[in-house]
Chain A
Amino acid sequence: MKIFIKTFVYLIVLIPLKAYPQACCTGGAPLSSSLGIISYTGENLVIDFSYDFNTMKDLYAGTTQLNDKQRERSTNSTILRFSYALNNKWAITTVLPYVWQEQTVRSNVGKTVQSSSGIGDIVLLGQYALMQNKKNLVLLAMGPKFPTGSISKTDNEFGLLLPPDLQPGTGSWDGIGAVSYSRYGIFRPTLSLYTLFSYRYSFQVGRYDGQQKYRFGNEMVINIGLTDSFLLKKWILNPGLQFKYRNTQKDENNGSSFPNTGGSWMYLVPSLDIELTPKIYLHSNFEIPIHTDVVGTQLVTSFKGNIGINYTLNFKKNRAYKIKD
């Protein structure tokens, strides 16, 4: 029985949130890895360091993929996340991204490469466990995204301001809210269902010294997935499979819709987490696009992945995590 309870706990802890990926045509922090909306043991500090890579080379018009490989864009980022649980109900998480972006255009007269890098937009979330017992866990989270990322990167040749989709930051304050529900012991004791609904509301930002009033479209992400748990020698393996639906509204520019922004995307997200010790685990996931429906024409994700390591520091020992009946 202990091993099952332990497994449950790890399942809760290990299931990552795959929300807020790099918008296909907007700049900013690629918060594709965990925002950390998971259950925490009181007075623990969780440090998570991950590497996220996103390759975009598929050009879509609506639901149609265009036969065009002229453009390619890659976004690599490291994401450092700190989560501190005040107690078993309340936790605070901050996400600190660093972003490298590169865009390449190939034409019959040559190749153009443009890149930029820098600290992205930092997120701060407060989290509350609305319900937690053996079978169910309901978490609420909300907080701001700060405009800490640079929006003033310039091109290499002339020092001209790069377009927003090549800036590490969005320049805007955003509000993020999320609710997750997990249910444990589906069909078998170690199999769990995980759902997450999250929403980002973007506020207007003045670009180009305030000459352009721009607002990124609000974004909604729904994740639904299953995760199981297996023992392999000393390690616990947690393979998972999620369905992810993401929708963004069109951006607004000076009060009008901005072309070629907004759309819906669906992904399958296989994941594997490996617990090396009770305090350390490795995590990985890959996003495989299964349906794309963009407004206008947009370059979309061809392949995306995230790998990372998670370490838990116990500040108060001898207090075991208890699950309410």
Chain B
Amino acid sequence: MNTIFKNLMLGLLIFGFSCSSSSDETFTDSPPLNDTPKDPTSFKIAIVSDSFEGEDFIVVGSEGWNFMVAYKTMANGKTHSFDAVKGSLPVVMTDEEGSNYNIFGLAVDGVNEGTQLTPMNAFMGYWFSWGTFYPGLEIFDSSIPLQNAGGGVQGNNGWLVPRDQVFVGALKDAIPAIDDPQFTSPKDEGLVANLKDDALVIGVLLENEARAYPHFIMNWHEIVNDKIGNTYFSVVFCPLTGTATVWNRVINNQATTFGVSGFLYNSNVVPYDRNTDSNWSQMLQLSVQGQLQNTPSQNLFVLETSVETWKTITTASKILSTNTGFNREYGLNPYGSYPTNSAVNFPVNFTDTRLHPKERVLGVLVNGKAKAYRFISFK
């Protein structure tokens, strides 16, 4: 019996500890593409001219430099045409009159120096989120048959969206927005300084001041209420849809702040404004419930790119500090392998299987319709 006893105990212990799970989550924040060029000297920049819903615009992008931005082609009453410029970041293109434009759409020399191109309403996001919010959307330069064309949903129960498709992901403010953001230079703070070149940041340029909000911090907070000069804005990032937007937070002449309601619609963050408690949809870009229902968000230009690109295109840039006022393990991605796997955590209205659910695409919105652009078009 003693032998049985000893063996049983030993077996229990060995089995028990061999089942220990590891907490060493690998920090990943890259799109699920495995052929992205790694050598900056080989990075290409390309431009596509397009027209959608009667709007003429260009999309400038680079797979290697990891950005896509879209601007209207008409500026100061003239319609311009553009060619890509390689190897001169932040300059990315030149117009037919020889003026060079930086990645923020500003002509930096030539006869059109000082001309600011008007950004399109566009932002990056995981493919599945564009597919569910804008069913049947077209993909640029793609011959794959459309899916879910003509699909749509109706709001109910006081919401502009189907209330039974709004889910509680967490309690209100359980994901705390940053209301007093601190910034650091890219070299000054451990985790920020050690960011991998391909780590993603959300870039904002307002009143000539550039600020970057790294995904690895935004994953934990989703919203930063910030101010540059007289511009009050909120950076809103949804880790589940990979979407980053920047909203003017002066609404009806009153500055407000946004918080994380904890609700999810189509797996996308639902911010709430703290003045009225109204709930907003990030990807629909309007308030979907509450006093401000139907009020559209005022969208500011946002550039989502790699930290390597951001450092290259900005000088004296400030990066959001991990000194957020909250104690979090910022070196750990709370979403694990979610950014690269094929899982969608919460139910969505439409599933579009034309692309990998987590492929990052640029969505351009015109008149409530969207068109998607892939990095593959900018190789």
Number of A positions contacting B (CB below 8 A): 59
Contact B336 A296 (CB under 8 A): yes
Contact B329 A64 (CB under 8 A): yes
Contact A108 B327 (CB under 8 A): no
Nearest chain B CB to A177's CB is how many angstroms away? Answer: 13
Contact A62 B166 (CB under 8 A): no
The answer to whether the Cβ of B74 comes within 8 Å of any Cβ in the partner chain is no
The answer to whether the Cβ of B9 comes within 8 Å of any Cβ in the partner chain is yes
The answer to whether the Cβ of A258 comes within 8 Å of any Cβ in the partner chain is yes
Contact of A257 among B16, B170, B337 (CB under 8 A): B337
Contact A155 B157 (CB under 8 A): no
Q: Cα distance A21–B20 when bound, in Å?
A: 17
Contact B172 A256 (CB under 8 A): no
Contact of B169 among A105, A163, A181, A294 (CB under 8 A): A163
Q: Which of B77-85, B196-204, B342-350 contacts A (4 or more CB under 8 A)?
A: B342-350
Interface mask (B159-172 → A, CB under 8 Å = 1, otherwise 0)? 00001101111111
Question: Can you name the residue of chain A whose Cβ is closest to the Cβ of B257?
Answer: A109
Contact A296 B173 (CB under 8 A): no
Q: Cα distance A162–B170 when bound, in Å?
A: 9
Q: Cα distance A36–B173 when bound, in Å?
A: 41
The answer to whether the Cβ of A325 comes within 8 Å of any Cβ in the partner chain is no
Q: Cα distance A263–B168 when bound, in Å?
A: 24
- The residues of A that contact B176 with a CB separation of less than 8 Å are 70, 107
B138-186 interface (Cβ within 8 A of A): 157, 163-164, 166-174, 176, 179
Nearest chain B CB to A113's CB is how many angstroms away? Answer: 8
Contact B20 A247 (CB under 8 A): yes
- The residues of B that contact A71 with a CB separation of less than 8 Å are 171, 174
Nearest chain A CB to B368's CB is how many angstroms away? Answer: 25
Contact A259 B338 (CB under 8 A): yes
A120-177 interface (Cβ within 8 A of B): 135-136, 155, 158-163, 166
Contact B8 A160 (CB under 8 A): no
Contact B337 A256 (CB under 8 A): yes
- The residues of B that contact A197 with a CB separation of less than 8 Å are 12, 15-16
Interface mask (A246-261 → B, CB under 8 Å = 1, otherwise 0)? 0111100111111110
The answer to whether the Cβ of A293 comes within 8 Å of any Cβ in the partner chain is yes
Contact B21 A250 (CB under 8 A): yes
Q: Cα distance A160–B174 when bound, in Å?
A: 17
Contact B332 A103 (CB under 8 A): no
The answer to whether the Cβ of B316 comes within 8 Å of any Cβ in the partner chain is no
Contact A161 B329 (CB under 8 A): no
Contact B259 A222 (CB under 8 A): no
- The residues of A that contact B170 with a CB separation of less than 8 Å are 163
Contact A159 B163 (CB under 8 A): yes
- The residues of B that contact A158 with a CB separation of less than 8 Å are 157, 163, 166, 289
The answer to whether the Cβ of A5 comes within 8 Å of any Cβ in the partner chain is no
The answer to whether the Cβ of B90 comes within 8 Å of any Cβ in the partner chain is no
Nearest chain A CB to B24's CB is how many angstroms away? Answer: 8
B1-37 interface (Cβ within 8 A of A): 1, 5, 8-9, 12-13, 15-17, 19-25
